[in-house]
A and B are shown apart, each in its own frame.
Chain A
Amino acid sequence: MRYSIVKPNTYQDSLRLMQLSNTLDDADGVDRVSIMMGTSANREILRGAGLDTADLDGAGPTDLVIVADVADAAAGERLVAKVDEFLTHRAPAAGGSRLRSARSLERAVDIVGGANLAIVSIPGEFVASEVHRLLDRKIHAFVFSDNVSISDELALKRRARECGLLVMGPDCGTGLVRGLPLAFANVVHEGRIGLVGASGTGLQEVMAHIDRLGGGVSHAIGLGGRDLSAEVGGITCLQALRALDTDVGTDVVVLVGKPPAARVREEVLGVAGALSKPVVAMLLGERTEADVAADICYPRTLEEAARVAVELAGTRSSRRIALRPEQRWIKALYTGGTLAAEAAALLGDSLGPAGDADRRAGFLFRSDGHEVIDLGDDVYTRGRPHPMIDPAVRTARIAAVMDDPENAVLLLDVVLGHGAHPDPAGVLAAVIGDGLAGLHARGRDLAVVASVCGTEGDPQSASAQTRTLERAGVAVLPSNAAAVRYAVAILRRRGASPVATSATPEPIRRLLAEPPRIVNIGLRGFAENLLQMGAQVVQYDWRPVAGGDRRLQSLIDALS
């Protein structure tokens, strides 16, 4: 049916209307459409195009004319709604090189198309009211400011929890969301280790070590120095732990902080121990009896926390492997005898005592289907070169390990140096690359984990060998022990029960799952850093409402 609308005295530029007509031409239920100003020339064009309608006669040059062939009246109404929507201004997607700024929260929120995270660095006395305004608008707050009273902190955090929002801080120095550094933060690679911490140099030290060890960070959620106090009760900490447990980008959770108040400690570690993901808890100044208790690892130092986390999560280039139920075994094919012995000892610690290892076959460890084989053993080197020189002994066995559908992890050592094969990684990469491709083609997969024993000065170059392996799909850990522990962690993760914690509130899930749209309130430098990182960010040039005049502020509040 023919559908036409004349909007009197509505001028729009003709090029813009042509663009609009083209945009709407393939709208649902619209056969064809033309939108023009009703000049006599345009009316002739419309008539010439067969889009004649009685409305045309009444239209003048300053009237906007919409003529369309539509399926039904409803399609016509949708069309007009779309025209109105198109002609109504929308903020362009943020980005580009220019930091946009605003003088009010409303406008700032509008500029980024609905903000969901704010960085707050304004004088402490104004923080509470400003963060309440953020919570009103469903915006998470990262509060860098200090000098906020503990009663305000408690009130804000309680309210945030009710709204399914996070208040990070106050006095939160560092944080990271989806690789975007908040406030004082190091530039670290993205990865699968999620951190929760009071937020200061503790988090920074752990993040920096994770990065140095080849790992990466998904998020670092700062709490502020008082979150774990008896007064605040770890409100944000508990929210953060649960959120990271359900976050698809996070595989391992690290908790860093000073020792909590006793009651809070119990609750926090209770929740941490019940997470479906491995937890590393570094509570400074606290000595636990065991390294691992109630499924939580307790490192002694910040550096150790980073190391343990990388051993659990793998490096940032580690592939994520979806093991099937029947994939249960670690098969370790070593060229170095002592490295193999170390692997055997560590696996024994983790997987239970070895069975009757067959020394003659070079088995250093055998328990159920788990095996550690030293291919440098005399059994294998009789009449042929050592596998460090001739990799064929090992490569010949790799296909069989990969073929066995019960195998979960192929664990390897790569030994460099003078005398060793000039490119052991290259040889392995060719075989493993083909093998994995074959498995993938059959809908299967298997984890290949290795460490490189060598230095940058070695003829083969440790980093070059590592890259070669990684490109072939091998997870390369910083040491043999780390590789073994990671292999065990892969198995353990397969055994973990699906997430049982209560569902993460939608605003928090989205904060961790989608690019944040950030309002920076206060220190401009924080916004400029984020802009450089490609974030959607707007600067809110905050000033006290009504110039700080309390009387006027109260009137504005009352009249809002």
Chain B
Amino acid sequence: MATYDSIDEANAAVAQKIIDAQPRLVDVVPAKTVIPALEGRVVLHAGPPIAFEDMPDPVQGAAIGAALFEGWASDEASARQVCSEEVQFAPNNDFNAVGAMGGILSGNIPVFVVENGTDGNRAYTSMHEGEGKVLRFGVYDRSVGDHLVWMRDVLGAGLSEALKLFPDGGLAINPILAQGVAMGDDFHVRITAASSLLFRELAPKLARVGMPQEQLEPVLDFLSGNVNFFLTLGMAAGKATLDAAAGVHAGSVVTCMTRNGREFAIRVSGLGDRWFTGPEEKLDTLYFPGFSDADACPDCGDSAIIEAYGFGGLVAVAAPAVQQLVGTGEGGFADALATSEEQSEIVVADNPNMPIPNWDFHGVPVGIDIRKVVSTGIAPLITTAVMHKQAGIGMVGIGKVRASMPCFTSALEALAEARGVEPTG
């Protein structure tokens, strides 16, 4: 392992890993084929470790849905009991995986396989199911299971074949990110451009893999109709990239941010797999008609990996749609610019391969430094979908939320301890 003379030097190496990473979508397979732990009665979830009983209702609902989908139970009551008594829950992040909202992942759910060309490491995530009745919002009726079966057996199998037609055996993700951020995506709450670009890549290949017409049509309809399909792929690209960056094993850069609906948590490059947790900050949400704060589930999901990766709230300036979210209405672009300029205070580098045109081609901010967060008091800003606190209702709005500051201060304390630094004062 390389050694570094200073934290700054180590952080520069971490940032370079992030900049240099070459994430590539190489396959779509049932999760258990790439995460062997999922052969057993194991279910992965978003955020730091949490017991089934402590999960927010929609996350419990998703877990119940997974138990039904896996055939561990045949009705809700027994599925709840299985989840409560038999299923072993573990964080996605401990298995190179990430998941949106509750992030529930079980063995037969199909996952994107993203491989980082520079380090060869892989990351996994379930595919975006679309909107409405979907598992990630805690819906577990028969239609959800049927949709998952279709995603595995038709969509997933088709994509797996299609991906083999790409030269180098996969679809490079950096070019989509670089174009998407210039086209107004933040990849967390605005993913339209990237989803379109992804469709543009996939559709002609899907047309060549020999799927029957009656299968190909719904696949293409689903992909063209789902403007958020790229969401989890961006997350997995971030996971593959940041896992490689964590391999530097030094420095003070955030390599993971996530939340389980109860706690916010981070990991830091120089502190291995330790979780540093803190209470969640309150969401500031733009609600769909008819919903209010009283309906919102606390912030949840591994999708804050997007911000750890440098996108989301950090690139508010790039996303015209997000300006409406970060601004106070009047502020608009100026507020979005101020947000990105503020957020760029807490990172160690910019990614020159991903310039943001309306930010004078400033690169995407890279590498959140916990020292800078604590020193400036600027917490990373996360843009996020907000779901209903009851299982089965779904998304109620789009919000913004600050990362939990105690995560960063306790990580700083731990880093000082690891380096034998004694506090004074």
Write the residues of chain A forming the contact surface with B, with a CB cutoff of 8 angstroms: 8-13, 16, 60, 62, 84, 87-89, 91-92, 100-104, 106-107, 543, 545-547, 550-556, 558-560
Q: Which residues of A contact B78 (CB under 8 A)?
A: none
With A60-B167, A103-B378, A552-B374: A11-B421 Cβ-Cβ less than 8 Å: no
Closest CB in chain A relative to B407 CB, distance in Å: 14
Whether a CB of chain A sits under 8 angstroms from the CB of B341 is yes
When the two chains form their complex, are residues A546 and B425 in contact, meaning their CB atoms are under 8 A apart? no
Interface check B362, CB cutoff 8 A:
yes
The answer to whether B252 touches A559, judged by C-beta atoms less than 8 angstroms apart, is yes
Partner of B355, one of A8, A87, A546, A547: A87
User: What A residues does B174 contact at CB under 8 A?
Assistant: 9-11, 62
Q: Tell whether, in the assembled complex, residue B360 and residue A104 are in contact, meaning their CB atoms are under 8 Å apart.
A: no
Residues B415 and A559 in contact, CB atoms below 8 Å apart = yes
A559 touches B360 (CB 8 A): no
B350 at the interface (CB under 8 A from A): yes
How far apart are B152's CB and chain A's nearest CB, in angstroms?
29
Task: Tell me the nearest residue of chain B to A547, going by C-beta.
Answer: B377
Q: Is the CB of A11 within 8 A of B175?
A: yes
Chain A contacts for B363, CB-based, 8 A? 88-89
Q: How far is the CB of A125 from chain B (nearest CB, A)?
A: 13
**Nearest A-chain residue to B351, judged by Cβ:** A89
Cross-chain contact of A559 among B167, B345, B376, B419 (Cβ < 8 A): B419
B342 at the interface (CB under 8 A from A): yes
The answer to whether A104 touches B361 (Cβ under 8 A) is no
Q: CB of B172 within 8 A of chain A?
A: yes
Which residue in B350, B360, B372, B421 is a CB contact (below 8 Å) of A555? B421
Given A13-B182, A555-B421, decide whether A88 and B352 contact each other with a Cβ distance below 8 A.
Answer: yes
Which of the residues A10, A107, A555 comes within 8 Å of B344, measured between beta carbons?
A107
Closest CB of chain A to B361's CB: distance in Å? 5
Is the pair A552, B409 in contact by a Cβ cutoff of 8 Å? yes
Residue from A11, A102, A560 within 8 A of B179 (CB atoms)? A11
Interface residues of B in 332-353 (CB under 8 A from A): 341-342, 344-345, 350, 352-353
Given contacts A104-B345, A554-B424, A559-B415, contact A62 B175 (CB under 8 A): yes
What B residues does A84 contact at CB under 8 A? 352
B425 contact set on A, CB distance < 8 A: 550-551, 553-554
Size bracket of the B interface: 35 or more
Q: Is A545 a contact partner of B375 (Cβ separation < 8 A)?
A: yes
A560 touches B175 (CB 8 A): no
Nearest chain-B residue to A84 (Cβ)? B352
- Assess the B362–A89 pair: CB atoms within 8 A: yes
Tell me the nearest residue of chain B to A88, going by C-beta: B352
**Is the CB–CB distance between B377 and A104 below 8 Å?**
no
Q: Which residue of A lies closest to B173 (CB)?
A: A9
Q: Is the CB of B423 within 8 A of A551?
A: yes
Question: Please, how many angstroms separate the alpha-carbon atoms of A303 and B30 in the complex?
Answer: 89
Going nearest first, the 10 A-B pairs with the smallest beta carbon separation are A550-B425, A62-B175, A11-B178, A558-B421, A11-B175, A554-B424, A88-B352, A555-B416, A9-B172, A89-B362
Q: Which residues of chain B are within 8 angstroms of A12 by Cβ–Cβ distance?
A: 178, 355
Do B355 and A89 have beta carbons less than 8 Å apart? yes
Q: Given contact pairs A8-B22, A8-B172, enumerate 14 new A-B contacts (beta carbons under 8 Å).
A: A16-B355, A87-B355, A89-B350, A92-B360, A106-B345, A546-B377, A550-B424, A550-B425, A551-B423, A554-B423, A554-B424, A555-B421, A558-B422, A558-B423
Whether A103 contacts B7 by the Cβ 8 Å rule is no
Shortest C-beta distance, B411 to chain A (Å), equals 11
Question: Can you spell out 30 A-B residue pairs with CB atoms less than 8 angstroms apart?
Answer: A8-B22, A8-B172, A9-B22, A9-B175, A10-B175, A11-B175, A11-B178, A11-B353, A13-B182, A60-B167, A62-B174, A87-B352, A87-B353, A87-B361, A88-B363, A89-B352, A89-B355, A101-B341, A103-B376, A104-B372, A107-B341, A543-B377, A551-B423, A551-B424, A551-B425, A558-B416, A559-B252, A559-B371, A559-B412, A559-B419
Contact flag A13-B352 (CB < 8 Å), given A89-B362, A103-B376, A559-B416: no
> Inside 8 A of A60's CB, which chain B residues have their CB?
167
**Is the Cβ of B423 less than 8 Å from the Cβ of A555?**
yes
Inter-subunit contact A555/B352 (CB<8 Å): no
B135 to chain A, nearest CB (A): 32
Which residues of B have CB within 8 Å of A107? 341, 344-345
Give A545 to B422 CA distance when docked, in angstroms. 18
- Which partner residue on chain B sits nearest A543 by CB separation? B377
B357 at the interface (CB under 8 A from A): yes
Contact between A104 and B375, CB atoms less than 8 A apart: yes
Contacts of A550 in B (CB 8 A): 424-425
Nearest A-chain residue to B353, judged by Cβ: A10
Q: In the complex the two chains form, is B175's CB within 8 Å of A546's CB? A: no
B413 at the interface (CB under 8 A from A): yes
Q: Once the chains are docked, how many angstroms separate the CA of A546 from the CA of B412?
A: 11
**Which residues on A sit within 8 Å (CB–CB) of B345?**
102-104, 106-107
CA of A88 to CA of B363, assembled, Å: 7
Q: Determine the chain B residues whose CB is within 8 A of the CB of A106 once the complex forms.
A: 345
Give the nearest-CB partner of A553 in chain B: B425
Neighbouring B residues of A92 by C-beta, 8 Å? 360
What residues on B are CB-neighbors of A9 within 8 Å? 22, 172, 174-175
Point out the residues of chain B lying under 8 angstroms from A100, CB to CB: 341
A104 touches B175 (CB 8 A): no
Tell me, in angstroms, the Cα distance from A60 to B166 when the chains sit together: 11
- Is A555's CB under 8 angstroms from B172's CB? no
What chain A residues lie within 8 Å of B182 (beta carbons)? 13
CA distance A439 to B28 in the complex (A): 88
Question: Shortest CB–CB separation between residue B301 and chain A, in angstroms?
Answer: 28
B286 to chain A, nearest CB (A): 26
The distance in angstroms between the C-alpha atoms of A12 and B413, with both chains bound, is 41
**Chain B residues with CB below 8 A from A11, complex form:** 174-175, 178-179, 353
Q: With A9-B174, A102-B345, A104-B372 in contact, do A559 and B409 touch (Cβ < 8 Å)? A: no
Cα–Cα, bound, A91→B341 (Å): 12
CA A16 to CA B182, docked complex, whole Å: 12
Q: Mark B153-184, 1 if CB is under 8 A from A, else 0.
A: 00000000000000100001011001100100
Cα distance A543–B357 in the bound complex, in angstroms? 31
Residue of A nearest to B270 (CB): A559
* Nearest chain A CB to B92 CB, angstrom units: 26
Residues of the B chain whose Cβ atoms lie less than 8 Å from the Cβ of A553 = 425
Chain A residues with CB under 8 Å of B374's CB are 546, 552, 556
Looking across the interface, which residue of chain B has its beta carbon closest to that of A551? B423
Q: Separation in Å of the B276 CB from the closest CB of chain A? A: 14
**Interface hub of A9, A12, A543, A556 (most chain B Cβ within 10 A):** A9
Provide the residues of chain A in CB contact with B372, threshold 8 Å.
Answer: 104
**How many Å lie between the Cα of A556 and that of B370 in the bound state?**
10
B377–A559 contact, CB under 8 A? no
Given A104-B376, A555-B423: A62 in contact with B172 (beta carbons within 8 A): yes
**CA separation between A547 and B375, bound complex, in Å?**
8
Bound-state CA distance A551–B425 (Å) is: 5
Q: Which residues of A contact B412 (CB under 8 A)?
A: 552, 555-556, 559
Chain A residues, Cβ within 8 Å of B376: 103-104, 543
Chain A hits for B423, CB < 8 A: 551-552, 554-555, 558
Q: Complex formed: what's the CA distance from A546 to B413 in Å?
A: 13
User: A89–B377 contact, CB under 8 A?
Assistant: no
Nearest residue, chain A, Cβ from B346: A104
A560-B353 in contact given A13-B182, A89-B362, A555-B413 (Cβ < 8 Å): no
Q: Which of B1-34 contact A (CB under 8 A)?
A: 7, 22
Chain B residues near A555 (CB-CB < 8 A):
412-413, 416, 421, 423
Complex CA gap A545/B412 in Å reads 14
